Amino acid sequence: MRSTVPYDPRVSRTPEQRFVGRLGRDAIERYRRARALLGTLGSAVLAVRTPGVAARRVIRRVLLMQIFYTGFEAVPLIGTVSVLLGATIVIQTELMVPAADSALIGKVMIAVVLRELAPLITAIVVAGRSGTAIATELGNMKVSSEILALTSLGIDPPRFIVLPRLIAAVVSVLVLMVYFAATALAGTALMGVVIANIGLGAFQSGLSGALTIYDLGLFLVKGVGLGAIVGWLCCHYGLEVKSSPTEVPQMASRAVVRSLLGCVAYNTLATALFYWTVGQSLR
């Protein structure tokens, strides 16, 4: 028989958990999130070996489109930022060390721009510009059930959606890093001639003297790692959208913030390992 006693909302209220219970619940939730995060990357990597010639052609087409949007369309922005940054370094060096020779400016450019700013600023630009678009696009696809439709048609979402964007982010960051470094050095040389009257021969000598074979390895490690972080996290949080359109901007913002934090942490770790490994050789 149904009770006629008036409904008391306090009866169905979930009792408050104690500290140990909350700690265990948080640990389980963090484990689930970490497992889902690694699952996004693992499924995309394993999708490389999935057979299907027709699928490879489609993925290649999607990959080229993503590289065009992520890399080629970001060239004007990267070029402007790098030239202005190179000019700023020349001005600051001239103000702090008025008697600095051209070779010293070349060494500063290698240590500051090539090893640090070129990888990090490129990754930040790609994350802010293309990472937001990737997370928003995948979130809208999830809300409109396009991901479910692709799955029902036998199309593997990690291979068709995540893998091209992951590879495009890595390739774009690597190419834009090279472009950033080249334009920054050119801008520094130009502004140095105009402002500080530096000699191009001494400036080139400083660059070649500070540049080592280890810098190529650091450049590749940072480019591949930073690009993978941006593509991976933005795809993951875009696919984390459930069913509400209001989740899309929230996940897009979370994707960009986590990507930036991940890029800064990875860049710092790579730099620390680089100087810890080859620091004596550089001296």
pLDDT per position as a tens digit, 21-75: 777 788 888 888 888 888 888 888 887 777 666 677 888 888 899 999 988 999 9
Amino acid at 27: A
- Cα separation, 141 vs 136, in Å, equals 9
Low-confidence ranges of the chain (pLDDT < 50): 1-9, 11-12
What one-character-per-residue DSSP string does 75-128 give? HHHHHHHHHHHHHHHHHHHHHH-TT--HHHHHHHIIIIIIIIIHHHHHHHHHII
pLDDT at 159: 86
- CA distances (Å), origin 230, targets 100, 116, 197, 240, 263: 38, 17, 40, 16, 8
pLDDT at 282: 63
- Cα separation, 48 vs 46, in Å, equals 5
Beta strands in the chain (DSSP E): none
pLDDT at 99: 61
* CB 240 within 8 Å of CB 137: no
- CA distances (Å), origin 217, targets 58, 115, 133, 224, 278: 33, 10, 30, 11, 11
pLDDT at 201: 73
Domain boundaries defined on the chain: 58-275
- Cα separation, 95 vs 82, in Å, equals 20
